[in-house]
Chain A
Amino acid sequence: MITMKINGVEVKAEEGWTILETAKFYGLEIPTLCYHEGLSPYGGCRLCLVEIGEGPRAKLVSSCTYPAEEGLVVHTDTRRVVQARRMMIELMLSVAPYSKVIQDLASKFGVTRMRFKIRNEECILCGLCVRMCEEQMDGKAIGFQNRGYQRKISTPFDIRSEECRLCGGCIYICPACQLRCQGPQAETAICNACLTLEPSCLDFYDELQCWMYDAGRCGTCVREKK
């Protein structure tokens, strides 16, 4: 058993666990995107960043690939972590603004602006489909190609692969190209329609139907009632 500290709480991890798995075991939420329980960790989306160490030597690491160590001090929600996480969401929005998964993440973590040029490539190169194809479907039909800004996921020679059985596993797991967000306007690329998820007051301002059992006092229905 490995003993370490997450957010000041002493936790015990099994040999071979990562920080993310330990945090999950204790019910501590760390957002993820390119992580999937059935696939090998990749550390590509950088959403699961946590801060390890203390003081000036603290550094950001991806918790899905960092193994649990004896005496490790982890913080999952410091200012630095939150800022880095927001930046990653912003960057991912710029390449895949129509992805519902990413727009939901933006709403959840309060990303309300996107300062980059919209490229709309509908792919964030998280590698989920590549790992799905190789590890779960045993297909090895798709893979990464090229390098740097030309990097893409495709079949060899961009033609239908002989290895592909059209199982659809890659499409099932893709966070960017399937679920569509209807919200984003062209000029902002950010939806935030899901930002206010609290139920609004109902049409009939009945004491029983108010979700807070406190009709009229929160101010919402008072404003709408006139």
Chain B
Amino acid sequence: MSVHQTINLDSLQEIVERHGYNKNKLIAILQDIQAVYHYLPAEALKTLSKLLKIPLVDIISVATFYRAFSLTPKGRHVATVCMGTACHVRGAPKILEEFERQLNIRRGETTEDGEWSLETVACLGCCAIGPVVVVDGDYHAHTSIRKVPTILDRYRK
């Protein structure tokens, strides 16, 4: 794991300060932590529990409830394949299989070099442009199996 070996808790302090130590902004704070580390490190959550004075179990409850949060390290790039009904009938399962073959991981996993994570999502709400694949927040519309290597290459440096 080359990308996120050290957990620097200074940025955590900064994030919490930015939200004014407000308990009600827990989800926003967790999102910001995830944006920094690409996942929610256990140490960060323990410190957060002390900073916000929320029991650790409650933070874990929230963090495990939402699919957007991950307690295990994520890759540098996250490819999310939409598996909603509209995308499904247009061949999303085949596209997902192609991603699995290309990256040599299964859905929900991360490659060993820590570069790629593969996720699925139930629906992104933009069914008209399906099948949709989201990579690092960029939406790739009307995806097909043939476009998968092109999409992957764009993010490989």
Q: Footprint of B on A, CB under 8 Å?
A: 134, 140-147, 155-157, 161, 163
Ranked nearest first, the 5 interchain pairs of A and B with the lowest CB-CB distance are A143-B57, A140-B55, A145-B64, A156-B60, A156-B56
Given A143-B55, A144-B61, 9 more pairs with CB closer than 8 A: A140-B58, A142-B57, A143-B57, A143-B60, A156-B45, A156-B56, A157-B42, A157-B60, A163-B55
- Majority-rule SS of A interface residues: loop
Shortest distance from the beta carbon of B76 to any chain A beta carbon, whole Å: 24
CA distance A129 to B26 in the complex (A): 25
Could you say which of B56, B57, B65 contacts A146, with CB atoms under 8 Å apart? B65
Could you say which of B42, B45, B55, B61 contacts A145, with CB atoms under 8 Å apart? B61
| Chain A neighbourhood of B61, CB < 8 A | 143-145
**Which one of B57, B58, B65, B71 has the greatest number of beta carbons of chain A within 10 Å?**
B57
Chain B count of residues within 8 A CB distance of the other chain? 12
Shortest distance from the beta carbon of B117 to any chain A beta carbon, whole Å: 19
| Contact indicator A146/B64 (Cβ below 8 Å) | yes
**Which one of B56, B58, B71 has the greatest number of beta carbons of chain A within 10 Å?**
B56
CA distance A141 to B64 in the complex (A): 16
| Contact indicator A143/B65 (Cβ below 8 Å) | no
| Contact indicator B57/A141 (Cβ below 8 Å) | yes
Which residues of B36-52 have CB atoms within 8 Å of chain A's CB atoms? 42, 45
| Contact indicator A163/B56 (Cβ below 8 Å) | yes
| Chain A neighbourhood of B45, CB < 8 A | 156
CA distance A141 to B49 in the complex (A): 13
| Contact indicator B60/A145 (Cβ below 8 Å) | yes
